[in-house]
Structure 1
Amino acid sequence: MFLDDYLDYVASKLNRRPRQTLDWKTRAEALDELLSNSIKPTAVA
């Protein structure tokens, strides 16, 4: 159980770290921005 909690902690720390490749946003911020700017298709494929 301790190892699972520690791995969750490490994953959380890494995912909350701002990334230069994402214009210094966290992964969560970039995902929220992507989902809020959803592209509406103009035609059906």
Structure 2
Amino acid sequence: MITVAGSLNIDMVTEAKRFPIPGETISGTGLRFLAGKEQIKL
């Protein structure tokens, strides 16, 4: 049996030159992972 207590939330953030229009997919540059008050930069 495996028991897990707790959770982990990570935000994946990228930068784009503009906001996409509804239904549009655009590419971003860079990628940052934000977990709580800490930041991991790739």
**Higher RCO structure (Cα 8 Å, ≥6 apart):** 2
TM-score normalised by L of structure 2: 0.20
TM-score normalised by L of structure 1: 0.20
Task: Answer 1 or 2: which has greater helix percent.
Answer: 1
